Amino acid sequence: MTPAWIVCAWPPVLWQVDVAPHLRLVHLGTRVLHYGDDACLCSGQTLWGEASNDRSAGVAWDWIEVEEGVLAIADPLGLVTNLKLLDSHGKALSDFQVAVHLNGLVHALPWQTEVQRALHHHDA
């Protein structure tokens, strides 16, 4: 799997939030971390991105298994992206506004299904 945090090294992509529905992110990979103790639940990172001829946008985040089969974003303010979010006038959004928009985007993704798939593959 491509390391999730590599998205920070990708060239920046300008994204106006009023055009958000046109950003189509797909699952690029999920890493599962398990520390060998059966009492410990898993955690990891997942990477989602959109690739086209003229740009490549991505978002990555840490996830945790809070109980068996229940997944959560480890730090909702810790999403990593190469997106530079702009308002309708082209002005950069504040860090808080970026976090709100990215969380909305992430929560619309089927990321938990993909992480569950990675967990099942990891257990096999």
Q: In the chain, what are the domain boundaries?
A: 4-123
Give pLDDT tens digits along the chain (124 positions): 667 788 989 999 998 888 655 788 999 999 998 776 666 789 999 999 986 666 689 999 999 999 888 999 999 999 999 999 999 899 999 999 999 999 999 999 999 999 999 998 876 5
Longest dimension (CA), the chain: 52
Contact between 46 and 111 (Cβ < 8 Å): yes
pLDDT of the residue at 20: 57
Distance separating alpha carbons of residues 17 and 101, to the nearest angstrom: 8
pLDDT of the residue at 69: 84
Residue range 4-123, CATH number: 3.10.450.610
- Whole-model pTM? 0.87
Distance separating alpha carbons of residues 90 and 85, to the nearest angstrom: 9
